[in-house]
Amino acid sequence: MRAVRDLVAQVAPSEASVLVIGETGTGKELVARSIHELSARSAGPFVPVNCGAIPAELLESELFGHEKGAFTGAIATRQGRFELAAGGTLFLDEIGDMPLEMQVKLLRVLQERTFERVGSTATLEADVRIIAATHQDLEALVEEQKFRMDLFYRLDVFPIKTPSLRERAGDIAGLITHALSKLPEAEGLSLTDAAIEKLGQYAWPGNVRELLNLVERLTILHAGQAVDVQSLPEKYRFSSDARTGTDTALGGAGLPDEGVDLKDHIARMEIRLIQEALDREKGVVAKAAALLGLQRTTLVEKMKKLGIQRD
């Protein structure tokens, strides 16, 4: 993270396009905001837009605006994000989800620094700095012809990679302390060293965002208490060690000398794998079931039996 901060400080004073790469929940927007705040454009607006959250047919209007009557439902002239970000920074999150036809139009704006509202012939200046972000491998998408090579090189002037939480498990204690300081209702809540060590063994598919959600949940469940391992939610207690890939319930050493409760161990394994599948598929049960080779109804029954809930 110190290396990330150094890169932010180096690129912020320039007008170069920045591509922030990292898994979901690693703080890509925070990096973009830091670049903006340290730049000469800091007095201007910081305007984020999630390219994957806006339907393809609406994205052009969202970015460039539209004139009244330009299409059905356009009852008034509307400014787009490029206009709203004038003099500041436009943050294009999840750029890998942008449809190919929109990629062509974005490339033209980046090259010519001008654009037109939908339904207008008046040319407007694009006085914005572009910072894009993605959790996808854009070079792989280029090879699959799902992302334009020329746009990729336009955006990839200065790449910054945000590390996953499992790559910096040593930061977990500090992040928890910071999160608790931001929650007034967390007064008196703490985590034992054993609990923090256990959390360091978890794979954190949701990264820092997932950790912050966990802290908030613990604040509600255990206000004013010291949280030990047994008070952590089940998926964190019976996780695989993210560093070794071993099951921490057995210490990664196979069958212990004193034996094991096989039924309990299998249940733990099921909980871990089901939870990982749900995390990977963002809680969509049907997709998680396909990952596990199960029917959706079978997975639903297992979740009820094991007490697993979607986050």
- The answer to whether the Cα torsion of 298, 201, 26, 16 is positive or negative is negative
Q: Return the half-sphere exposure (C-beta side, CA atoms, 13 A cut-off) of residue 288.
A: 25
* pLDDT tops 60 at residue 122: yes
Residues 6+ apart with CB under 8 A from 171: 1, 165
What mean pLDDT comes out for the span 179-190?
88
CB distance 3 to 28 below 8 Å? no
What mean pLDDT comes out for the span 123-142?
94
What mean pLDDT comes out for the span 209-227?
92
Confidence of residue 44 (pLDDT cuts 50, 70, 90): very high
* pLDDT tops 80 at residue 310: no
* pLDDT tops 70 at residue 116: yes
Tokens 């207690």 map to which residue? Answer: 237
Confidence of residue 111 (pLDDT cuts 50, 70, 90): very high
Strands 114-115 and 190-191: unpaired
* pLDDT tops 60 at residue 253: no
pLDDT at site 187: 83
Q: What crossing angle do the helices spanning 28-37 and 2-11 adopt, rounded to 10°?
A: 40
What tens digit of pLDDT does each residue of 16-40 get? 999 999 998 999 999 999 999 999 9
From start to end of 142-236, where are the E strands? 158-161, 190-191, 226-227
Domains (ranges, CATH) in the chain? Answer: 2-161 (3.40.50.300), 165-246 (1.10.8.60), 261-311 (1.10.10)
Distance CA(303)–CA(290), nearest Å, equals: 15
pTM: 0.74
